[in-house]
Structures are given as structure tokens and as C-alpha cells.
Structure 1
Amino acid sequence: MDNKNRYSISDQSIRFLNKYLNSFSPTGYEREGQKIWKDYISSYVEKIVTDLYGTVVGVINPNNSPYKLIIEAHADEISWYVNYITEDGLIYVSRNGGSDHQIAPSKKVVIHTKKGLVNGVFGWPAIHTRKSLEEKKPNLDNIFIDIGAFDKKEVEEMGVHVGCFITYPDEFFIMNHNYFVCRSLDNKIGGFIIAEVAKMIIEHGIDLQFGLYVVNSVQEEVGLRGAKMISHAIKPHIAIVTDVTHDTSTPMIDKKIQGDIKCGLGPVIGYAPSIHKKIREFIIDTSKNKKISFQRLVSSRYTGTDTDAFAYSNKGVLSSLISIPLKYMHTTVEMVHKKDVEKIIQLIFETLKGINYSKEKFFID
């Protein structure tokens, strides 16, 4: 591969990633993160559109081709809702997305109110008090938040009410030069990846043979909803989705069930009914030709990603999935390897460069 076209994460890109990951983007309330993403990508696209629920689309070549290709990630992170306030001023919660109740005890939280952010913690009884034969474990019916209020009235005076959303405040850091660590890497790292692909296309002056729609979708964590809406609006011919997938090299994961995937070994190319063979094999051939290492993963009936939403929308969309290995999904210490991030950006960039509709005939065969 020509080294001048090889992607490497710059200091400017790291500053964007840091700001983007540290913003709050819970499902249904993605606006803060979307504004940061939109401001960054605006320099690398010709047009930006935001739909009713907050999905942001940057477009390159909007009028130069009848063919439309989407590269997509989802912008929302898991969170909690205030569900019940006791008379003693303690707060019980409900999930917003796949929040893990087992990691909650002793975590700091922020509750988002009209009066501003309210700090709190997930409390948990001290070990000295848990003497029963059957030790209590964290469950949705027993985890609770303490904001230091004396009673329910004081909670309400702080602006907290049923329906306020709750997020973790843990921030981005780089571990040992190799790993990016943060909450919400699922899937803001995907938003970073597609923004960097758009940046490469513009900086390298690539003349695409199609309209490219760079899509940062909302509400994936609760049913792929943003992708469903935007697919009907854009009506793309191809969708290349990027999301995270499990690093299965860590303890307590069965590789016979979850596959054999490891951080640092490259992007993961998916196999599933919603993934079209033609575009998948084109991506694999591109990876081999450009000497970009990759891994393979079978998702059986469905991928659980926005790929499924695009594939079966409209009259069908030629869809594929390129994932990035992630450790500790849906925790506050999600981890991805820097080399995997760079390789997936390179792979999507090279794939887009190589697509020529008059040659490949993706829409005729």
C-alpha cells in the first residue's frame, strides 16, 4: 500500500475523539454528542442533514450520481432513567438500552435535569452487613442511587423527577499507548471511524463514483430505530455499517459460541443472512489486496446491529458489517486497540475507492 495513503490517527483526531467520547449521548438524547460530531465532519462534506429524531448525515457528491452508498455508525450510549423515588430520597432506575445492573454498585452517576447535572452514586450495602447464607447480588429491583438527599421532597427540589435520564461520567483515556478506554466506545468509536473516512476522501481528493452518505444514527440500542428511519429517507443502494463486537480472548467468554476475536488483530468482517455476499467478498478482496489484516465472525440469524435495519428496508439494501473488537462491552471501561481503529478506517477508505459501478454492476446482477 502507498504509505502516503496510509491512515494514522493524528493529534487533531485524538482531540476530536476525546471531546466526542466525553459528551453525553444517551438513547433518545443524543443531541450533545451529535453536535460535536456534526461540527467536526462539516469540513469534509458538502451537505449536512439532521432528521426529526437527531440522526445526522453528511453527504459527499450529493448530485453527481444516481447511486447512493451509506457508511454508518450509531451515536447513542446506554443509560438509565429515574423510575421511582422513595420517601427517604433514594432513586430506583429503569434501563435505557442494555445497561448492566451488575456493574452499577459504587459507580458515580450524573442525573440530567432542567436545573443542570445532579451528582449521585449507586449505593450498595457494606460487606459487613451481608451475612445471610445467600449473598445478595445486584439486580434491577435492588440497585439504587443516592444523591445525598434527606427525603423525596429534597430530591424534587434538586430538579430530579421520574423520567430524568442518568449517565456515567467516566472519561476517555489512552492506556499504555495502545488502547482507547471509555464508556460509550459502543459505538461512538464507529462515529469517529466514519468521520475519519470522510476526512481521508476529501484530503486525498478521491473522485467517488456515487453519492456518499456518512450517517451517525440514533437509537440503535433500543431497536435499530434511527437506521430504520434514515434508510427510508435516503433509500441507499449499499450500506457499510461499522459497530463494535466482542473481544472473546478475555475470561468467561466461550469462543465456541461467541467466535474467536481478539483486539489488535484487525477489523472483523461479518457473516449473517443480512450481510450480502457480493459486498462482503468485495471488502475481503480489498483487505487482501491492500494487505490489511482482518478477522471473521459469524452472527447466524441476525447481527444485532444497524446492518439488519438497512438490509431489510425499502426493497432491500446491499448491506455489510465491518466491526471493531471491543473489550468489556456495556461497561464504563470499554476498550479498543488503536491499530484496529486505524485499520478499519483504512479498509473502509480503500473499499470506497475501489467501487466502480460501471465495472462492478452491483445493482444489475
Structure 2
Amino acid sequence: MTDTPSPWTTAMPEAQFELMRRILAAPSPVGLEGAMTYGVLAPYFESFAPEGWQLHQYKGHAGVVLDTHPGCDDMFKVMLIGHADKIRMQVRSIGEDGKVWINTDSFLPTTLIGHEVKLFSENPDAPGEYRVIEGGTVEALGAIHFADPGVRAGDKGVKKEQIYLELQIHGENKKQQVLNLGVRPGDTLILDRPIRHGFSPDTFYGAYLDNGLGCFVTAEVARLIAEAGGTDNVRVLFAIASYEEIGRFGSRVLAGELRPDAVIGVDVNHDYVAAPGIGDRRMQPLEMGKGFTMSVGAIASEQLNRIIESTAREQGIPMQRDMVGVDTGTDGMAGVLAAVDCVATSIGFPIRNMHTISETGNTRDVLAAVHALAASLKALDKLPDPHREFRDNHPRLDQAGALGHQGAEKPNTETPEVSD
């Protein structure tokens, strides 16, 4: 979609931004991911997939996998994973006054108040048929005038049990008006905010960057690999998983089914520099606009990371190291959670306001991830024997060389940064 030698240094082409917008806009709450996987991504995969590539489908979930070498189980298999599922709010109960009480799932209750949502209701008379109600807003207090003094002063918060959907129901038999719509406990709600270009250059904002962005990156890496003629020695599995927001269950099923030798989770990360009120926690200074992120720690393979980091340096692609401790927090854990022997890591892009209606990202970080991953897959494909490469070259800290004091002069070896 661009002829620029270094696409991560320039604005994302509008056609590519529109693809990203369509992927993120697909209504794909947990357990109902088909709108993204089958409605947007599968047709996109099919538009560029070379003859011989195959799209895998599954019974228990709507995840899909685009496979470059189906059936070639002896090849070194690399699985890139984005997850299609969005945080799923649900109807909890219906009040006599017409209020539709809902759960908040992984949202802070206060971040939901006043925002528009879509309610997807399964037709009680025709199971499997879904209808959508638009125009409702999430509320809790109704008005500041009805809040107790602690809430009005900001000393107290809003409890999740206070959250309801406002459908502007009025008149007689308010509860029955809702029941007549066929709305029932368990029906799904999602935030209604497609992404838009932001005020600052190369930025965008909206709901559910987590993790339509990972799916977009995975799809664009697949396109670049297809346009480059595919791979010869590595079988690549471009996976779109489900159920990540409730425990990363979908990706571990994919790993269990296809048994990859390498897993790379692709998911959003935090902009810690911009995060308010966490200065005393001394988080790593990940920052939007400074490039993609790579996980270090937990199950992240130092060998796989070395290939990605070396490739990014060779290409001049900006990268930030992310300390993840005991858990990557992403589908990069899929292999170990599925008891599959594989190297793994997690690639991301710093965003702001995660799990809100105004998540914010930078297109240059996203493009940096796309091109770093595509180049890394090509580097893996050039290895004479990837299986032996990873079996025989585990880091040996007992062989570490001594390191002495290096003085105070600043070396001229800074990581390339995105130009303005």
C-alpha cells in the first residue's frame, strides 16, 4: 500500500488506514468474533493469499489461521497471533423502571459513563438471529445532583453494580417495553466509537485498539510475505485468536492444534511516559511514537528476540524493549499455556487509555511492527536449520565475559528514533 522505502517514517496511506478502521470497527465481542474474522479478515486474506495457502477454521470459536504451507508439519512453524475478541459487556437484569442493568467486565465503571453503545440481542423466537439496538448510553447516577457528597467531591467512585444502559424508556409498563424488544440477560453490548485520525500527526483514537491493532498487523505482515513470494523454509501461521480478554484461551487452543515451533504475540502495550500518576512506580519509559515494543522476560526467548532486534537495527526500524516480568500478558504465552515446546515473544505498540473508548495510538509504531515482523520472518527463513538453531544456541550465562567500568562519556549508539 506504499512505495516508501521506510514506511514507518511517513504517514500511513489512507487506504491502509481505512483497512485498519474496518478491522477495528467490526463488532467482535468475546465469543462472537466472527464479524472481524469472517467479515473482514478472511476476505482480506483471500484477496492476496497465493495459491496453496490455506485458511483454517474451527468448531469451538471463530478464530482463523492463514497457513503458508498446510500439511508441512516437518517445517519450522512460526505463529503470529493477534486476538479479535473485544471486551464484552452483558445485560445483567431489567428493572421495573426500564433500566437495563449491565456488567462492566474489564472496564473501569467510571470510564463508561455517558458513552454510546450498541446492544446486540439474540431473537428469543429465532435463536441464532441477532438484532442491534443503537442510541443507548451507559449511565450510573443519572445526574450529579443525585450523587452522594463523596462521589460529587471525587472521594468515592462509582461501583460496577451501579452501571446501567439508558434506552430513554418512558411511559407505561417500562420493563415490558424492554421485554417486548426481546432483550434478555446475557445479551451483548460494545462501545460505539470507530477510530478517527487524531489531532497530532500520525495519531488515531477510538475504541478497541486492543486488539484489532494486533489483527491488523498480523494481516499486513501476511500481505507483505505474500507479495515477497512467500517463504521457502519456514511455515508461517498468521493467526487471529479469540477469548484473549478472558484468559488467553483461544490462542492456546490454536497452539495446541497446530503446535508451532515459535509464537509471536502481537498486542497493544502501554505508553508509560504519558500514563498519569504512576511516576513513583518507575515503569520503563515506553512511549507512543518511538517505535514498536519487544517483550523481555517471562517466557520470551532471548534467541528469538535477538533475531527480531538485529533485524530491526539492520532495517533502521525503531524498537523499544519492554520488561514483562513473570508474564507477557499477551497471547505470546500461548505455547507454554498449551504445553507446546516453542520459542516465544511478544511484539506491541504503546497506546494510551487502554480499555477505554478513547484508546490512542500512533500509526508509525504500528507500521514499525508490521515491517519488523515481516523482515524477521524473512531472516528466520534464511536460517539453514531453524530447529537446530534454537535447540543448540540457548544463552549460557556461565560463559558471560567480564564487564568493567566504561567511563562517563556518552557513546554515539542511540537507537534510531522516528523523525518528525
Q: Which bracket does the TM-score occupy, shorter chain normalised?
A: over 0.9
Q: How far apart, CA to CA, are the structure 2 residues paired with 1:345 and 1:202? A: 13
Partner of 1:142: 162
Q: Give the C-alpha shift of residue 92 in structure 1.
A: 1.4
Partner of 2:47: 43
Q: How far apart, CA to CA, are the structure 1 residues paired with 2:232 and 2:137? A: 50
1:81 maps to a residue whose letter is: Q
Where does structure 1 lack aligned partners over 5 or more consecutive residues?
none
Helix, strand or coil for the counterpart of 2:376? helix
Partner of 1:185: 209
The question of whether the paired residues in 2 share the 8 Å contact of 1:5 and 1:204 is answered with no
Q: How far apart, CA to CA, are the structure 1 residues paired with 2:112 and 2:337? A: 36
Q: Give the C-alpha shift of residue 22 in structure 1.
A: 1.4
Q: Give the C-alpha shift of residue 75 in structure 1.
A: 0.7
**Greater shift in the superposed pair: 125-134 or 84-93:** 125-134
Partner of 1:346: 371
Q: Give the C-alpha shift of residue 363 in structure 1.
A: 4.4
Q: Give the C-alpha shift of residue 206 in structure 1.
A: 4.3
The question of whether the paired residues in 1 share the 8 Å contact of 2:193 and 2:207 is answered with yes
Which of 165, 187, 191 is the equivalent residue of 1:168? 191
Partner of 2:132: 117
Alignment of 1:1-365 (within 5 A): 6-7=6-7, 9-35=12-38, 36-45=40-49, 46-52=53-59, 53-63=61-71, 66-96=75-105, 98-114=106-122, 116-119=131-134, 120-123=136-139, 124-130=141-147, 132-133=149-150, 135=152, 137-150=157-170, 151-176=174-199, 177-250=201-274, 251-254=276-279, 256-355=281-380, 356-360=382-386, 361-365=388-392
2:20 maps to a residue whose letter is: L
Q: How far apart, CA to CA, are the structure 2 residues paired with 1:155 and 1:310? A: 45
The question of whether the paired residues in 2 share the 8 Å contact of 1:274 and 1:312 is answered with no
The question of whether the paired residues in 2 share the 8 Å contact of 1:183 and 1:331 is answered with yes
CA distance 1:304–1:5, change in 2 (3 Å): same
The question of whether the paired residues in 1 share the 8 Å contact of 2:55 and 2:64 is answered with yes
Where does structure 2 lack aligned partners over 5 or more consecutive residues?
124-130, 393-420
CA distance 1:289–1:83, change in 2 (3 Å): same
Helix, strand or coil for the counterpart of 1:170? coil
Helix, strand or coil for the counterpart of 2:70? coil
2:41 maps to a residue whose letter is: W
Helix, strand or coil for the counterpart of 2:103? strand
Q: Give the C-alpha shift of residue 72 in structure 1.
A: 1.0
Helix, strand or coil for the counterpart of 1:29? coil
The question of whether the paired residues in 1 share the 8 Å contact of 2:291 and 2:318 is answered with yes
Q: How far apart, CA to CA, are the structure 2 residues paired with 1:91 and 1:257? A: 41
1:42 maps to a residue whose letter is: E
RMSD (Å), alpha carbons: 2.0
Q: Give the C-alpha shift of residue 336 in structure 1.
A: 1.0
CA distance 1:19–1:362, change in 2 (3 Å): same
Q: How far apart, CA to CA, are the structure 2 residues paired with 1:131 and 1:63? A: 63
**Greater shift in the superposed pair: 284-293 or 223-232:** 284-293
Q: Give the C-alpha shift of residue 311 in structure 1.
A: 3.1
Helix, strand or coil for the counterpart of 1:364? helix
CA distance 1:125–1:317, change in 2 (3 Å): same
Q: Give the C-alpha shift of residue 162 in structure 1.
A: 0.3
The question of whether the paired residues in 1 share the 8 Å contact of 2:151 and 2:158 is answered with no
Q: How far apart, CA to CA, are the structure 1 residues paired with 2:190 and 2:176? A: 22
Q: How far apart, CA to CA, are the structure 2 residues paired with 1:187 and 1:133? A: 35
The question of whether the paired residues in 2 share the 8 Å contact of 1:69 and 1:210 is answered with yes
The question of whether the paired residues in 2 share the 8 Å contact of 1:265 and 1:340 is answered with yes
Helix, strand or coil for the counterpart of 1:89? coil
Deviations 1:18-70 (A, max 9, x none): 22211111111111111211111122332101212111101113356622111
The question of whether the paired residues in 1 share the 8 Å contact of 2:263 and 2:334 is answered with no
Q: How far apart, CA to CA, are the structure 2 residues paired with 1:72 and 1:237? A: 13
Q: Give the C-alpha shift of residue 357 in structure 1.
A: 3.9
Q: Give the C-alpha shift of residue 15 in structure 1.
A: 2.2
The question of whether the paired residues in 1 share the 8 Å contact of 2:84 and 2:241 is answered with yes
CA distance 1:126–1:95, change in 2 (3 Å): closer
Q: Give the C-alpha shift of residue 288 in structure 1.
A: 1.5
The question of whether the paired residues in 1 share the 8 Å contact of 2:255 and 2:340 is answered with no
2:86 maps to a residue whose letter is: E
TM-score by length of 1: 0.93
CA distance 1:54–1:236, change in 2 (3 Å): same
Count of aligned pairs: 362
